[in-house]
């Protein structure tokens, strides 16, 4: 129903939507994840209730909605410093400009329980071999060889 949603620009937010804070405030930080608990009408206008975890339930007005975005999926960079139970990473030749080892390392280390790589094996191999952006010393190539049989020994 329209009571359970609020619009800001081209975005529509609904009760139950997963959201990400995109600006630091006194109560939440850029990158914090939460969900929308309620949308209600008040004499001052529509208000949106958000839950960012224990002790961090906030209420925003429509003017504050520019500081949140949907978070059903996110980028590796926005996930920096966070962990998730399941990570799904598409790795395709079409993403050639981003096929760097350090990006893969960051993405892989966000997964707490399950990591799923979807795409082309040759692109994963290219990514592991490409340390031109930032040289890092990790066991990522060994891990991928051992666990997935993707790369040649």
- pTM here? 0.66
**Cβ 119 vs Cβ 90: under 8 Å:** yes
* H, E, C per residue of 55-112: CCEEEEEHHHHHHEEECCCCCHHHHCCCCEEEEEEEECHHHHHHCCHHHHHHHHCCEE
Q: What is the SS3 assignment for 144?
A: helix
73-113 pLDDT, tens per residue? 888 878 877 888 999 989 888 877 788 888 888 888 888 99
Distance CA 82, CA 149 (A): 28
Q: What is the pLDDT of residues 25-72, one digit of tens each?
A: 888 888 889 999 999 988 988 899 999 988 789 999 988 888 999 988
Distance CA 42, CA 99 (A): 49
């Amino acid at each position: 129903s329209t009571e359970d949603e609020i619009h800001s620009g081209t975005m529509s937010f609904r009760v139950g939507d997963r959201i990400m804070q995109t600006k630091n405030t006194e109560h939440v930080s850029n990158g914090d994840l939460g969900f929308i608990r309620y949308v209600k009408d008040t004499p001052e206008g529509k208000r949106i209730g958000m839950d960012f975890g224990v002790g961090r339930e906030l209420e925003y007005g429509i003017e504050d909605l520019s500081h949140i975005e949907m978070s059903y999926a996110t980028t590796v960079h926005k996930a920096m410093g966070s962990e998730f139970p399941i990570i799904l990473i598409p790795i395709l030749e079409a993403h050639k400009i981003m096929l760097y080892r350090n990006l893969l390392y960051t993405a892989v280390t966000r997964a707490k329980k399950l990591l799923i790589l979807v795409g082309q094996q040759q692109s994963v191999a290219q990514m592991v071999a490409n340390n031109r952006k930032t040289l890092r010393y990790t066991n990522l190539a060994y891990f991928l060889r051992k666990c997935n049989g993707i790369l040649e020994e």
